[in-house]
Amino acid sequence: MIALVVKVNYKKMIGFLILIAALIWGFSFFSNKLMRSVYPQKYHETVFRYADEYNVDPNLVFAVMKTESNFDPDAVSRKDAKGLMQITDDSGEWLSEKLKIKNYSSDLLYDSETNIRIGTYFLKLLLEEFKEEDIALAAYNGGMGNVRKWLNSDSYSDDGETLHTIPFGETDHYVKKVIKTKAIYDKLYQKE
């Protein structure tokens, strides 16, 4: 029988393991930094203030802003929705009345604080009415009236509370994108 003797240099092995651990930590650290630069928490103080006031998950607000405007306060959609959270003039006027915003004009939708306040409040109302995040997001994008019709149709809802199909392709894509973006925010900022 031949015995195989392996000489192990424990100092080299420990050094190698420390190097591997450092590389993994470094990659994780820089990967996290890179991802946070792609998915930032811009307007952090304002988002957290209104998310807390209206009991809305702040990462949902960040995900909506990222998806809607990529944090551009001057963004205007092809449907003339404005600002960070892409509020239409009609929605802005309706929601500003509910919030008792004095001297409201649609130009205030370009003000980051006002836009975040109105958008977060709108999310609160939609979550209260539709209960489920994905249904509320469908209403945010496709309109409350449309979502109510879909929920009352056997073609789109089995139970009147959830949607198995969103008939507007743009709205379906929007909901999936915001949910995915929120999951990224949840992972990146889970300890905060």
Alpha carbon distance, N-terminus to C-terminus of the chain: 61
Annotated catalytic residue, options 45, 53, 68, 170 = 68
Confirm whether 128 is a catalytic residue.
no
CA distance 172 to 188: 25
Q: In 3D, which of 119, 133, 98 has the Cα closest to residue 51? A: 119
Which amino acid would we find at residue 186?
A: D
Assign 83 to helix, strand or coil: coil
Query: What is the C-alpha separation between 177 and 167, in angstroms, rounded?
Result: 16
**From residue 130, how far is each of 95, 133, 146, 156 by CA, in Å?**
17, 8, 12, 15
Structural tokens at position 108: 């205030």
Known catalytic residues are 68
